Structure 1
Amino acid sequence: MHRIERKPQEVFGDWIAGVADDWPQDAREWAHREFIDTIAVMVPGAVDPLADKIFATVEAWGHGPCTVFGKQQKLAAPWAALVNGAIAHVLDFDDNFDPPKAHPSAVLVPAIMAVAEEEKLSGPAVIDAYIVGLQILGRIGQGLNPTHRNRGWHATATVGVMGATAACARLLKLDAETCARALSIATSMSGGFMSQFGTEMKPIHAGLAAKGGIMAARFAQAGVTAGALTLDGATGMNRLMVGPDYEQLRDAMTHVEHGQTLRYSLENVGEPLLITEHKFRVKRFPTCGAIHRAMDGLLDLKEQYDFTAADVVSVDLLMPQVHFNNVFYTDPQNPLEAKFSAEYAVGCILARGDCTLADFTPEKVMSEDVRALFPIIHRHPVDKAESEFPTEVHVELKDGRKVKAVIAWPRGSKAAPFTDAEYWSKFDKCCAGVLDDDARAHLRDALERLPDLSHAGEIMARATFPSSQATRQQGQRRVYDNAN
Structure 2
Amino acid sequence: VSAISAIAEWASGVSKDHEGGAYDRARNGCIDTVACLVAGAHDPASVAARDAIVGWGTGAATVVGDSERRPAPWAALANGTAVDALDFDDYDVPAASHPSAVILPALLALGEERGSSGRSLLDAYIVGVEVQLRLGEALNMSHFHKGFHSTATIGTLAASVACARLLGFDAATTGHALSIATSLAAGSKSQLGTTTIHLHTGLAAHNGVLAAALAGVGATGSVDALDGGWGTLRLLADGDAPGFDLPLSKLGDPLAIVEFGLCVKPYPCCSYTTSAIDGVLSLRAEHGLTSNEVAEVIARIPSRNIELLKFPKPENELEARFSMEFCLAVALHRGAVLVADFTPTAIAEEEVRALLPRIRMEALPETAEHENVTILLHDGRTLERTVEHPRGSAALPFSEDELL
Could you tell me how far 1:25 is from its partner in structure 2? 5.7
**Cross-structure match for 1:343:** 325
**Cross-structure match for 1:75:** 70
Could you tell me how far 1:384 is from its partner in structure 2? 4.1
1:282 aligns with 2:277: no
The 5-angstrom pairing of residues 415-430 of structure 1 reads: 415-424=395-404
**Cross-structure match for 1:374:** 356
**Cross-structure match for 1:239:** 234
**Cross-structure match for 2:113:** 118
1:174 aligns with 2:169: yes
Could you tell me how far 1:301 is from its partner in structure 2? 0.8
1:166-209 alpha-carbon deviations (Å, 9 max, x no partner): 11000111000111111110000101111111110011000000
1:10-35 alpha-carbon deviations (Å, 9 max, x no partner): 00000011000011261101100111
1:322/1:262 CA distance change after superposition, 3 Å: farther
2: distance between equivalents of 1:51 and 1:204?
Answer: 8
Answer yes or no: is the 8 Å Cα contact 1:317–1:392 preserved in 2. yes
TM-score when scaled to structure 1?
Answer: 0.81
C-alpha RMSD of the superposition: 1.3
Could you tell me how far 1:310 is from its partner in structure 2? 0.7
Could you tell me how far 1:383 is from its partner in structure 2? 6.2
Answer yes or no: is the 8 Å Cα contact 1:291–1:323 preserved in 2. no
SS class of match (2:219): coil
Could you tell me how far 1:125 is from its partner in structure 2? 0.4
Aligned partner (choices 337, 343, 346) of residue 361 of structure 1? 343
**Cross-structure match for 1:130:** 125
Higher RCO (C-alpha 8 Å, min separation 6): 1
1:292 aligns with 2:274: yes
1: distance between equivalents of 2:351 and 2:234?
Answer: 47
The 5-angstrom pairing of residues 79-478 of structure 1 reads: 79-243=74-238, 246=239, 249-250=240-241, 261-264=242-245, 265-382=247-364, 384=366, 389-424=369-404
1:300-331 alpha-carbon deviations (Å, 9 max, x no partner): 11112221111111111111012212211111
In the alignment, residue 86 of structure 2 is paired with which amino acid? L
Could you tell me how far 1:262 is from its partner in structure 2? 3.7
1:216-237 alpha-carbon deviations (Å, 9 max, x no partner): 1111111112122110122210
Could you tell me how far 1:267 is from its partner in structure 2? 2.4
Answer yes or no: is the 8 Å Cα contact 1:392–1:404 preserved in 2. yes
1: distance between equivalents of 2:12 and 2:380?
Answer: 63
Structure 1 unaligned residues grouped into runs of 5+: 1-5, 251-260, 425-484
In the alignment, residue 314 of structure 1 is paired with which amino acid? E
1: distance between equivalents of 2:360 and 2:227?
Answer: 42
2: distance between equivalents of 1:403 and 1:56?
Answer: 49
Answer yes or no: is the 8 Å Cα contact 1:319–1:389 preserved in 2. no
SS class of match (1:207): helix
Answer yes or no: is the 8 Å Cα contact 2:364–2:371 preserved in 1. no
1: distance between equivalents of 2:340 and 2:250?
Answer: 45
Answer yes or no: is the 8 Å Cα contact 2:21–2:258 preserved in 1. yes
**Cross-structure match for 1:54:** 49
Aligned partner (choices 19, 25, 29) of residue 24 of structure 1? 19
2: distance between equivalents of 1:282 and 1:125?
Answer: 23
1: distance between equivalents of 2:186 and 2:282?
Answer: 38
2: distance between equivalents of 1:205 and 1:52?
Answer: 15
Could you tell me how far 1:332 is from its partner in structure 2? 0.5
Which stretch has the larger CA shift, 105-114 or 42-51? Answer: 42-51
2: distance between equivalents of 1:43 and 1:56?
Answer: 17
In the alignment, residue 336 of structure 2 is paired with which amino acid? D
The 5-angstrom pairing of residues 9-48 of structure 1 reads: 9-24=4-19, 26-48=21-43
1: distance between equivalents of 2:88 and 2:364?
Answer: 26
Which stretch has the larger CA shift, 261-270 or 323-332? Answer: 261-270
SS class of match (1:101): coil
Answer yes or no: is the 8 Å Cα contact 1:393–1:404 preserved in 2. yes
1: distance between equivalents of 2:64 and 2:309?
Answer: 29
1: distance between equivalents of 2:324 and 2:146?
Answer: 20
1:286/1:382 CA distance change after superposition, 3 Å: same
